[in-house]
Structure 1
Amino acid sequence: MPELRATTLVDAPLRTVAAALLDARLLARAVRGLGVRISGGGPVLHVGASLTGSVGPLRGTLAVTRADTTGVSAALVDGPLPRLSLVTDLRHTGGGTMVVDSVEWSSPGGPVGRLADVLVGRGLALKVLRARAAAVSRRSVELLGARVVVGAAIVHDGRLLAQQRSYPPEAAGRWELPGGRVEPGETDEAAVIRECAEELGVAVTPGAQLGPDVPLTDDLLLRAYTATLSAGTPTAVEHRALRWLSATDLDTVDWLPADRVLLPALHPLLP
């Protein structure tokens, strides 16, 4: 079973590099000049997202199985090979973040399959890994100066508070965590407190950061924090509706793409 691995040291914090990896456009742009096409996944990668890839006439579908602060993994669920997996692991070091990329696949078998591995598969896979590593490094540096939108994961009586957007049209009816942009000179925690007061009419106490940073635009990140209610009853001031979600409700809601990335980190908060 052929396997290739490449490592890259990125001069950026682990969470920033993780955010770069979640940009669904990153891999597609990186491999564009290699005769490989990749599409799908939405604006950001999340568990369960699908990517469609092609090399010449060969096409396949990859399903994302991991997308968090530890890295990103995807596995072939439909395609010409018996098995294909792409794995990126992130490791904090004193000099930055070590990005460990690997690709592993099974050939159809026989002399022809083994020859294809040697002549085509290994060379192309290595080019893809190198191109992706360079793209991740560039995107991470860009995100170092990104502005931040905070989200508040408010859990009360074993349920999570979500709010339904009323605008803009492309987001109306979908759900997200309460929150908003961090103002100049404001800390993330202060922004969580202010936004919850403005959007919900409540006082909250911010807690620990939750899940990975999630890229929203080229220079904007979503950063979520746990929060507890200190005073007041949440009211939908700016949104269409509010809803308290149980653990069984969490995956049934039509979340905005960026908030959907946070679901694996939200589940452990609920009994």
Structure 2
Amino acid sequence: MGAIISDDSRRLLLVRRGRPPGEGLWSVPGGRVEPGESDAEAVVREVAEETGLTVSVGPLAGTVDRPGPEGVVYEIRDYLAEVVGGVLVPGDDATDARWFDPGELPRLPLVSGLLDALTGWGVIGPPPGSTATG
């Protein structure tokens, strides 16, 4: 699961992955749900571990399936979330954490499918110059 976090300027919080999968690529903060955890509890924990921020978890933004090792398929549920405290500092398996204007995302090395998912879920608009219509 992951957290889609925007600030008052509509910038998105992304982390640079420090380990596989996606090592070196930018993604939304997130990770696996531990046994006995709800998705919301996992979002709060993962965001705190990777960014130092405390969040309030909102609604499900969307779900994607991503291939893993040895034919495993991971179902990833991304939730909207709002910062309620903390100080932004990368931690755990994130080597960097920053706020990005949505227009910057197409130029970043993102994990596979992130830009399409964020656009498809209506989190961000289509990239400039896109012929997509709504």
Q: Is the 8 A contact 2:11 2:102 kept in 1?
A: yes
Counterpart among 31, 47, 50 of residue 180 in structure 1: 31
Report the AA paired with residue 205 of structure 1: S
Q: Aligned partners of 2:57, 2:100: CA distance in 1, in Å? A: 19
Q: Name the residue aligned to 1:228.
A: 82
Shift in Å, 1:213: 2.6
Q: Is the 8 A contact 2:51 2:97 kept in 1?
A: no
Report the AA paired with residue 61 of structure 2: L
Q: Aligned partners of 1:181, 1:220: CA distance in 2, in Å? A: 10
The correspondence of residues 119-198 of structure 1 with structure 2, limited to 5 A, is 150-157=1-8, 158-168=10-20, 171-198=22-49
More strand by share: 1
**Percent identical across equivalent pairs?**
34
- Between the two proteins, the alignment pairs up a number of residues equal to 118
Q: Aligned partners of 1:219, 1:208: CA distance in 2, in Å? A: 23
- Give the gaps of 5 or more residues in structure 1: 1-149
Report the AA paired with residue 167 of structure 1: R
- Give the gaps of 5 or more residues in structure 2: 126-134
Q: Aligned partners of 1:253, 1:233: CA distance in 2, in Å? A: 24
Q: Name the residue aligned to 1:257.
A: 112
Counterpart among 35, 60, 66 of residue 209 in structure 1: 60
Shift in Å, 1:222: 1.1
Higher relative contact order (CA 8 A, sep 6+): 2
Shift in Å, 1:219: 4.1
Off by >6 Å, runs of 4+ in structure 1: none
- Cα deviation digits, residues 202-238 of structure 1 (max 9, x gap): 2100111113333343242111001000101221113
Q: Secondary structure at the match of 2:6?
A: strand
Q: Name the residue aligned to 2:124.
A: 267
Q: Name the residue aligned to 1:80.
A: none
Q: Aligned partners of 2:48, 2:27: CA distance in 1, in Å? A: 16
Q: Secondary structure at the match of 2:50?
A: helix
Q: Name the residue aligned to 1:50.
A: none
Counterpart among 243, 249, 258 of residue 98 in structure 2: 243
Q: Aligned partners of 2:66, 2:17: CA distance in 1, in Å? A: 19
Report the AA paired with residue 38 of structure 2: T
Shift in Å, 1:194: 1.0
Q: Aligned partners of 1:259, 1:248: CA distance in 2, in Å? A: 14
Q: Secondary structure at the match of 1:249?
A: helix
Q: Which of the two has higher C-alpha Rg?
A: 1
Q: Aligned partners of 1:221, 1:200: CA distance in 2, in Å? A: 23
Shift in Å, 1:258: 4.2
